[in-house]
């Protein structure tokens, strides 16, 4: 028996533009600048972005870029070759399933997509009457392409954990302005993990 092969794309929605995030000055008073920007980039997504809406956005984008041929490669209009298996609006993370032969088409479509529904107007009213206007600028970043949903899931958990560690580490060294710049460039999570390892080694040697 032949199995239909799929690819699972782990996707992050980022908000690099300052205007894209709602003003949260009351909660962000105590945060450093680096933390603020880090949180702003990984801001939550509106609830109006449902899995079906995301799947339709991807299909529309593929149709725009690759035409009827691209839609056919995805498995036809009604077949639902692209389906959103997981969408967390709080962490702006999604797992998208697509046919293995055409995952690059989906990836291309995601690269060209730059709008999601606004977070304020994404209420229930917008969902019923029609689709909410796609006005919030964003960037879709494909983190991992995987053959099984399990690996994509593990990667999502790993990334989320590293993100938390990175923010915590920023909190601790917030007074040392020099280090914060380095942490923001992406070494934060790894640095923290290495620190933990060193602690263990020291404890072991102390026990001896």
In whole angstroms, how close is the CB of 108 to other proteins at the nearest point?
Answer: 10
> Does 77 sit near other proteins (CB under 8 A)?
no
Q: Using the rule CB under 8 A, give the single segment among 7-15, 66-74, 144-152, 165-173 that binds other proteins.
A: 66-74
Size of the site for other proteins (CB under 8 A): 9
Q: Please report, as residue ranges, which positions from 4 to 63 form the binding site for other proteins (by CB under 8 A).
A: 62-63
* Nearer CB in complex with other proteins: 68/208: 68
Smallest distance, other proteins to C-beta of residue 110, A: 15
Burial class (CB in 10 A: 0-12, 13-18, 19+), 139: middle
Q: Does 76 bind other proteins (CB under 8 A)?
A: no
Examine residue 149 and tell whether it contacts other proteins (CB under 8 A): no
Taking CB under 8 A as the criterion, the residue among 69, 104, 198, 202 binding other proteins is: 69
Q: By CB under 8 A, name the one of 42, 70, 81, 192 that touches other proteins.
A: 70
The correct pick among 66, 127, 134, 149 for binding other proteins (CB under 8 A) is 66
Is residue 64 near other proteins by the rule CB under 8 A? Answer: yes
What are the structure tokens assigned to 195, written together?
A: 């620190």
What 3 state SS string does the chain have? CCCCCEEEEEEEEECCCHHHCCCCCCCCCCCCHHHHHHHHHCCCCCCCCCHHHHHHHHHHHHHHHHHHHHHHHHCCCCCCCCEEEEEECCCCEEEEEEEHHHHHHHHHHHHHCCEEECCCCCCHHHHHHCCCCEEEECEEEEEEEECCHHHHHHHHHHHHHHHHHHHHHHHHCCCCHHHHHHHHHHHHHHHHHHHHHHHHHHHHHHHC
Contact 144, 158 (CB under 8 A): no
Two structure tokens written together for 128: 């019923």
Residue 142 makes contact with other proteins by CB under 8 A = no
Q: Is 114 in the site for other proteins (CB under 8 A)?
A: no
- Minimum gap (Å) between residue 112 Cβ and other proteins: 9
Interface residue with other proteins among 16, 67, 80, 181 (CB under 8 A) is 67
Interface with other proteins (CB under 8 A): 62-70
């Amino acid at each position: 028996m032949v199995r239909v092969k799929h690819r699972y794309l782990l996707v992050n929605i980022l908000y690099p533009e300052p205007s894209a995030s709602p003003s949260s000055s009351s909660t962000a008073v105590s945060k450093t600048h680096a933390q603020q920007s880090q949180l702003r980039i990984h801001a939550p997504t509106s609830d109006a972005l449902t899995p079906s809406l995301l799947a339709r956005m991807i299909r529309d984008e593929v149709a725009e870029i690759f035409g009827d041929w691209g839609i056919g490669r995805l498995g036809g209009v009604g077949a639902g070759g692209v389906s959103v298996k997981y969408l967390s609006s709080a962490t702006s993370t999604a797992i998208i399933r697509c046919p293995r032969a055409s995952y690059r088409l989906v990836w291309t479509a995601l690269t060209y997509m730059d709008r999601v529904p606004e977070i304020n107007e994404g209420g229930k009213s917008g969902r019923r009457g029609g689709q909410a206007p796609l006005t919030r600028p964003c960037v879709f970043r494909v983190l991992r392409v995987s053959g099984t949903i399990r690996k994509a899931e593990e990667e999502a958990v790993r990334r989320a954990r590293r993100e938390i560690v990175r923010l915590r580490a920023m909190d601790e060294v917030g007074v040392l302005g020099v280090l914060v710049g380095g942490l923001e460039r992406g070494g934060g999570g790894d640095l923290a993990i290495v620190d933990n390892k060193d602690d263990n080694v020291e404890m072991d040697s102390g026990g001896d």
